């Protein structure tokens, strides 16, 4: 023991001070090294966790959207869905709170409309059952949903999303659309929003995440060269439901053109209200399977997997008119399941799975098969006794039943940033 209030009789006080000082320095350095080593290990563990979350997009995909964490998601995956898109997440601007709390590193906060913790448990169960080849994404937007805030940077938005969902999900899906109210701001895609979507996609891809998008057909129309950022337009020249007020004009073509390198797949919503698909099937009486075949043939044979868009129609965009590359390897047919199967309404074009199968057989034979199929929505599986998960899996032959079904038991033991 060293007693500092006594002078040693042999005059060694200075040497004791030196020894104590040396001891303190050594201990300090040792503690610093231990702390640094611990932090490094912590970061390595975090990075490893993040790395294990990364998954590759399957070669052939069957995409199912869900707005709920329910047994139907389990069943859909077991029956063939290998890309689940959880809908929706939203970005909140918390800049005002930052002024009160200087510890906040970002101005954005990401929240989910579904039960995030339940989704996390369900993904873990599916992985344990052997469905760890299934990709789980989260979607931004939806009809009447918010767009990305103009006042926030793409970096802030991306970091907020990654904080909430980056260690649970394998990527994102862009499903930003319009609004019922014609004067709502989200019936116009701001340039800031489009750039944030593109920049976010770039950041996500560089971090190993998957990026998809699901435009209504008029938002990405290979038969249309006109361009507008508005999505509350009419189309007087089409001769069928000309007065419908919610058409777009290739707003997603800008994203595909400028940021296409960071987009893995594009699901075209053929079920958009009074879509071009509906025009051909309902008004022009084209067989559904023929329409799907001609859509691909037009894209591949006639357009060489690209289509021209007149971006100069929007001078504020400062992006010249050009051909937009749309590789067949990114094309996903987007369908509505049982909710749209209505003989008395031609608003949403319903494609019977048998007709889809006929078209797919022809396209496979001609080596023009799309990347896969998408359907909205898993929540409606079983409506009118129609099950797209199983029916479309029979077409694509993604997986056979494993026969090890386990009931899902949700344990609500963790608070999450869900708004549901």
User: What's the CATH code of the domain at 233?
Assistant: 3.20.20.80
Q: Say yes or no to pLDDT of 364 above 60.
A: yes
d(CA 21, CA 27): 10
Question: Which residues form the domain of 122?
Answer: 61-396
Residue 31 lies in a domain: no
Contact 142/177 with Cβ under 8 angstroms?
yes
d(CA 386, CA 376): 12
Residue 206 lies in a domain: yes
Residue 270 lies in a domain: yes
pLDDT in tens, 13-56: 344 344 445 444 444 555 454 444 444 443 443 443 343 469 99
Residue 33 lies in a domain: no
- Please state, rounded to an integer, the average pLDDT across all residues of the chain: 88
Count Cβ atoms below 10 Å from residue 222 Cβ, excluding itself.
23
Give how far the C-alpha of residue 52 lies from the chain's centroid of Cα atoms, to the nearest Å.
19
Structural domains in the chain (count):
1
Residue 337 lies in a domain: yes
The per-residue DSSP string of 45-67 comes to HHHHHHHHH--PPPSSEEEEEES
Better-scored residue on pLDDT, 301 or 24: 301
Category of 197 on φ-ψ map: left (φ > 0), alpha (ψ -120 to 50) or beta: alpha
d(CA 315, CA 228): 10
Report residue 180 as tokens. 């019922």
pLDDT of residue 348: 98
Q: Is 43 helix (H, G, I), strand (E, B) or coil?
A: helix
Residue 216 lies in a domain: yes
pTM score of the predicted model: 0.85
Report residue 125 as tokens. 């169960």
pLDDT of residue 154: 98
């Amino acid at each position: 023991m060293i007693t500092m209030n006594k002078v040693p009789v042999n005059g060694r006080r200075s040497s004791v001070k030196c020894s104590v000082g040396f001891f303190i320095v050594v201990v300090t350095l040792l503690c610093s090294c231990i702390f640094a080593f611990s932090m490094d290990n912590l970061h390595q563990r975090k990075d490893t966790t993040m790395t294990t979350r990364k998954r590759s997009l399957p070669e052939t995909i069957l995409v199912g959207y869900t707005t709920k964490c329910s047994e139907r998601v389990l069943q859909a995956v077991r029956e063939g869905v290998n890309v689940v898109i959880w809908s929706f997440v939203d970005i909140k601007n918390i800049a005002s709170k930052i002024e009160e709390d200087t510890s906040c590193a970002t101005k954005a906060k990401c929240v989910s409309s579904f039960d995030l913790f339940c989704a996390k448990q369900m993904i873990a169960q599916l992985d344990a059952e052997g469905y760890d080849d299934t990709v789980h994404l989260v979607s931004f937007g939806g009809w009447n949903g918010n767009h990305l805030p103009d006042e926030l940077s793409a970096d802030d938005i991306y970091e907020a999303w990654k904080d909430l969902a980056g260690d649970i999900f394998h990527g994102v899906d862009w499903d930003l659309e319009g609004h019922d109210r014609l004067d709502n701001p989200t019936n116009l895609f701001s340039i800031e929003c489009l750039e944030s979507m593109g920049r976010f996609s770039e950041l996500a891809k560089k971090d190993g995440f998957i990026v998809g998008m699901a435009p209504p057909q008029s938002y990405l129309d290979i038969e249309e060269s006109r361009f507008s950022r508005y999505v509350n337009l009419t189309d007087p020249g089409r001769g069928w439901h000309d007065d419908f007020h919610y058409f777009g004009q290739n707003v997603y073509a800008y994203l595909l053109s400028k940021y296409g390198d960071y987009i893995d797949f594009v699901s075209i919503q053929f079920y958009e209200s009074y879509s071009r698909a509906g025009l051909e099937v309902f008004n022009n009486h084209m067989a559904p399977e023929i329409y799907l075949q001609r859509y691909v043939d037009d894209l591949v044979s006639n357009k060489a997997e690209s289509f021209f868009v007149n971006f100069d129609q929007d001078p504020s965009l400062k992006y010249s008119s050009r051909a937009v590359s749309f590789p067949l390897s990114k094309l996903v047919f987007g369908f509505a399941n049982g909710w749209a199967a209505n003989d008395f309404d031609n608003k949403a074009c319903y494609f019977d799975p048998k007709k889809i199968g006929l078209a797919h057989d022809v396209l496979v034979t001609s080596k023009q098969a799309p990347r896969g199929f998408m359907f909205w929505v898993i929540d409606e599986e079983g409506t009118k006794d129609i099950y797209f998960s199983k029916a479309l899996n029979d077409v694509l032959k993604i997986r056979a039943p494993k026969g090890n079904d386990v009931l899902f038991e949700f344990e609500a033991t963790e608070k999450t940033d869900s708004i549901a």
